[in-house]
Amino acid sequence: MRNLRRRLVLAVLYLAAFLLQYGFLNNLGWGVFCPQLLLFFPVFAGLLRGRWYGLAHGLFAGLLMDLVIGRFLGLNALVWGAAGFLTGRFTTSLFKENYPIAVISVLLSYTFSSLLYAVLAGLVSGSFFSMTLISRIILGGVVVNCFIAPIIYLPVYRSLSYGWLQPMPKRA
Amino acid sequence: MTPKRKKILIGALAGVLVLALLFLAGLTSTERENISKPEQFLRDMLAPLQNGASVVSGNIRNWGAYLQGVDNIRAENDELRKEISELRLQLVDLAEYQQENERLRDLLNMAEDVDAQFEYVTTTVVNRSQSSWYKTLVISGGEDAGFAVGMPVVSAQGLVGRIINTSANTAEVLLITDREGAISAMVQNTRTVGVVEGDGETSELSMIRVPYDAEIENYQQIITSGYGGVYPKGLLVGYINSIALQSDGLMLDIDVRSYVDFNRLEEVMVLKPKN
């Protein structure tokens, strides 16, 4: 029952984040200062529940983006899956209650995923992005995503610890 | 299973996953006539919700303006802008008609008017991804509304882009400001032909492949040339903002400004062939 509720909450959160980003925030005309809400799923999943959860959420969130607004099917899934996995891989021994950890994870994951996307999209399409565009997207995204990371991290952390997103205890 | 074997298995699975996703990305990297069924399903399912959310964002933007106490001025301004846009389009049309009349008096039936060829279908913008790598818009109305890949999209201020894929209820539009959205264009007065392209970073355009001795001036209108078969001839692209000589001295670097505010587009028109 708890598992079903957790999945339902996750599905609603994904839908809400998607609509907020691609129906609302993108239309406000903030340009590169538009938050990448879906990226918080793999980053926080990796950070709080480990690399495999980070990978799974990254693949799912990336594929959702690819299917609805993406140019190349599978590229965002690959990039965000890697970002979620690596976040989980390198934060195993860190103290998760610490806000700066969440902010630094978002900063590094966003930078890494943007760079990887730029390189892979360039290789796949045969047309590379300019360094100016890459740096604009990374700088704008880093500023806004790092700013809102703590605001999102607190409820996610609480919910995962003793709220609706709390996972089922592992069987002995 | 030993830990070593488990590691090898996981590594192999990861490798297969990466290769499969890269292969899929490669397969879909070219412009596609038809998008896959899962893409169509998700886009159609989410389109009404996105539409609702974009209406809310539009209202919030308007609400912000109301709070600033400029609503009346805004309405008047909008009215005047609309009038200017209409007059500008009329002016472009008239100039175009005049020139065409002069040139085609002996060459009747060589060129057809855009209005005669196309039907203007007004639709709303439901999503824009101009902040990201590619400059595209998602508009409501897709195959069910008769939209198809390649159809030009315009606003009252000028050319916006072309449809690059469709689902039943939505269509994706590649903007002319995207680095892959280059168009064949000409200076309206002098008929100097060149290519107008975006840098993919800003909403600015530039006209390239124009020889150094072309007789052009600032503020002349740029229209589509009709070459290449993507856009019909005579659609307003923008105006010349500045002209500079390239370092090799052979070609001109022309800065072109569009009249379209790509960040605030809410309604656009799709040019649907009449026959």
Radius of gyration of the CA atoms of chain B, in A: 23
pLDDT tens across A11-54, in order? 999 999 988 888 788 777 777 788 889 999 999 999 998 899 99
> How far does B21 lie from chain A, in Å, by closest CA?
5
Instruction: Read off the CATH number of the domain in which A134 is found.
Output: 1.10.1760
The answer to whether B112-174+262-273 and B183-257 have equal CATH topology is: yes
- Contact assignment for A78 to B56 by CB distance below 8 Å: no
Long-range contacts of B142-147 (CB under 8 A, 24+ apart): B142/B44, B142/B166, B142/B167, B142/B168, B142/B169, B142/B170, B142/B171, B143/B167, B143/B168, B144/B168, B144/B169, B145/B121, B145/B270, B146/B121, B146/B272, B147/B121, B147/B171, B147/B270, B147/B272
Contact of A90 with chain B, judged by CB distance below 8 Å, is answered with no
Low-confidence ranges of chain B (pLDDT < 50): 106-111
> Domain B183-257, what architecture?
Beta Barrel (2.40)
Per-residue pLDDT at A170 exceeds 90 = no
The distance of B24 to chain A (nearest Cα, Å) reads 6
Three-class secondary structure of residue A27 per DSSP: helix
Which residue of chain A is at minimal alpha-carbon distance from B39? A67
Report the complex ipTM.
0.81
Sorted by where each begins, the domain ranges of chain B are: 112-174+262-273, 183-257
Count how many domains chain A has. Answer: 1
Could you give the CA distance from residue A77 to residue B128 in angstroms, rounded to a whole number? 20
Residue A30 contacts B where some CB pair is shorter than 8 Å = yes
A34, A25 Cβ separation under 8 angstroms: yes
Mean confidence (pLDDT) of chain A:
88
Residue A169 domain-assigned (yes or no): no
In CATH, which superfamily holds the domain spanning B112-174+262-273?
Rod shape-determining protein MreC, domain 1 (2.40.10.340)
A50 within a domain of the structure (yes/no): yes
pLDDT single digits (tens) A106-163? 999 999 999 999 999 999 888 888 888 899 899 999 999 999 999 999 989 888 888 8
